[in-house]
Structure formats: structure tokens, C-alpha cells
Amino acid sequence: MSAFVDAQSGGFSINLVHRDFEGSPFYNPKETPARRVGIAGRRSIGRVHRFSSRSISDPSDPDAQLTANNGEYLVNISLGTPPFPIVAIADTGSDIIWTQCKPCTDCYKQDAPLFDTKSSSSYRTVSCSSNACNSLQSEGSSCSSDGSVCEYQVSYGDQSHTQGDVAAETLTLESKTGNPVALPKTVIGCGHDNAGTFSPKGSGIVGLGGGPASLVSQLGSSIGGKFSYCMVPYAAAKPTSTMNFGTNAVVSGNGVLSTPLISDPSQPTFYFLQLEAVSVGSKKIAFQGSSIGGSGNIIIDSGTTLTLVPTDFFSQLSDAVETQVTGGTKTSDPEGFFSLCYVPDSSLKLPPVTAHFKGADVVLTSDNIFIQVNDKVVCLAFYANDQLSIYGNVAQQIFLIGYDLPKQTLSFKPTDCTNT
């Protein structure tokens, strides 16, 4: 049974699975926890390469493959009629929804079967004069050689690319209630020429950014411009987090803090916030951040693990944390990636840390500040980067994070995400 969801239906919720949890196609049981966390940290840097056209990663780097499809959370979707299952990356740093499709002129190796458009009765290509084609102008939309079909092209910072036909197709989400949510005539990219450093484990991307082609924008008024998510801690036993849409996404009640959600017309994909300072104990460190996003100075992104901040700010923050930590034993990261690590014994006491967003003083927990590398090591989940400032998903865990696009607000509510 499928049902198209609108604002009057009460909204819906779906599961998100972290790519490093068992059951994910990306899960590698041979990796040690330290190696897994180290690679996740490097994916954070890969996000900057992807977000910034000024930066090109080295394709010979063994971690370069983490750049093109390096979101952290996966969602089960289906395309077409009858539904064809795809495990896609849910990405607030992307707009377009795309997957590889048959026939493939030049496709990267993919472990899962490719979507065959000829097997779907609901698949329709989009004309060049359509609103759907115009919505993909930021994705390099153009016309086919005979002028009949709208085409898209997306190039990533590591020189990977995807291009193909723009189409209208039924996209089905698996809701947490067990009832599929069918979204007819969703605009997608059907990739026929995709190459670069894509992982064979990936089979699609669901863009959740602020641009007109994203799933959130396409749902538009049917969800009242609202979505939210609640991400479990990285070391939690429960593998699933939750994403909500429509009335299910309303964040209310005691403890809710809200800050302006800032858009930049020149970069409509990204969700910007204004971070004014971070306090470590009684020491308040002013934050300048990236000179992008209009009055916004930091991007909030579910697909970046670490919080990336300018080098000077990181030095002050790291020094303040180290100075105020009591007990415990300082140690080294087994992978050599993180700079400030401790043995998490019973004597370790961390200072209180507060992120001062405009109008919202968000008190962080130890799970937001440090990431558990293994049973014997925790490391500061911030990293120095002078290109872009990004508020990563470790800092967002154990909060219900709500986006209200009509009101242009983002809300935080401390929440036990293992019970959502």
C-alpha cells in the first residue's frame, strides 16, 4: 500500500543508517574502530574538496575515493513502477537526486544492479522547456543533441562527474510505520556517464540541500517546508537514526533553542548558521568562520563527521580544552589523524562546552565534543580547516535538529535519539 503524503496527512518518518554500521553496504568488518573513525575524519576533509571548486584532491591518494559519494547516512528508497530498491546516501550537502541507469555509456563499477528505465512504467524524460529542467540550472542542465531531452551534469571537486537525463519518476520511501510513501513525478537525474572516484558500494544520492532540485524543495508545501533528524551517537549500539518530514518534523517543547537559518542565493544548496563564539568553561572564544553565506559563517551538514573550523580558532579551542581537562591520560590517536586524545578512564573530567549561535546557546555533551576512536581512546571531534567552516554530525548527535524553511529557523532540542 502506497500513499502520497501531504501536510494534512501528519507527515512521515524514515530510518537513516550510518554507513559504518553493520548492514550498510559500506561496512567493512575488517576495519578496526580506530581505522573506521580515522577514515570518517578524512571524509570530512573530502567534503571540503567537494564543496569547494578551489580545491582538487589527488586521485592517487587511497582516501580520494571517499570524496565523490562521501555522505555519512544512508536511506532505503525505491525508484519506478514496480519499485526498484536502491540504498542511497542522504545528503544535506547535495541537491540533485540521482542514480546510475541502464543503458550506461560509461559507468563506474557498482556492486548493486543498475536501474533499468525500460522496466518502469512511470519513468518519463523531461523536456528542455519544462520547469523541472529550469530547476536544474545550477546542476548544469542542458539539452540533448536533438533538443528533445533535458540533461544534467554534476562535477565534484575531485574531478568525478555524473551526467545523464533529467526525468520524472516515482520515488518511494520506506517509512518507519512500515507503509511506503510514494512520491510521484519526483525529478531525478538518471546517470548514463558517471566516472571518477565513486565507490562501487554506492548506488545513489538523495539530495536534501536547499536548492530547487532537492527532495526537500520538491516536497515543498506538502511537508510545510519542514524536516528534522535525530542522530544516534557514533558509538551507539543502535544502528538507525531518524529523519522526519512535515508535521512529524516539528520541534517543540521544553529545551528547544532556535537560531536563524541563513540562505545565500549564490550557494543555495548549503544551510548556513551564524556561530558567534564557543565557550570552554569560562573561556569564551570568538568565532569568525568562513566569509561566505552572507551573514552566515558556518555550514550545518549531516554528511560531515567532524566540525571544521579555522586553524587559529582550532588552536585556541584545543588549548582551552586541554588546559581545563582534569584527570585522565593524554594519548595519541592510533591512526595519527586527531591531535588531542585521551584515555577515557573514570578520572577523566571534561570542561563544559557551549556553542553560541545567534539567539541559541547550545550546551554540548561529551559525545558532541569527543569521538570514541576505540575502547581506550577518545579524541576531540573538531579539526582545523581554513577553506570552509562546517558544523558536523558528531556535534549534532543527541539533538533533534529541526529545519523550518518558511520561518528560516533551525532548532535544537536535546533528545535521546536511540528512542526515536
Where do runs of H (alpha helix) occur along 211-264? 215-219
333 in active site: no
Residue 111 buriedness (CB in 10 A; 0-12 / 13-18 / 19+): exposed
15's grid cell? 530510518
Q: Which one-letter DSSP state was computed for residue 222? A: G
Are the C-beta atoms of residues 342 and 377 closer than 8 Å to each other? yes
Supply 198's cell numbers. 565513486
Q: How far is CA 352 from CA 153, 279, 311, 364, 366, in A?
A: 46, 8, 22, 7, 8
CA distances, 109 to each of 62, 191, 194, 204, 363 (Å): 17, 13, 10, 13, 44
Choice among 20, 95, 301, 333 that is catalytic = 301
301 catalytic? Reply is yes
For residues 78 and 339, the answer to whether their CB atoms sit within 8 Å is no
Three-class secondary structure of residue 176 per DSSP? coil
Query: Which single residue is written with the C-alpha cell 543533441?
Result: 145
Mind telling me the catalytic residues? 91, 301
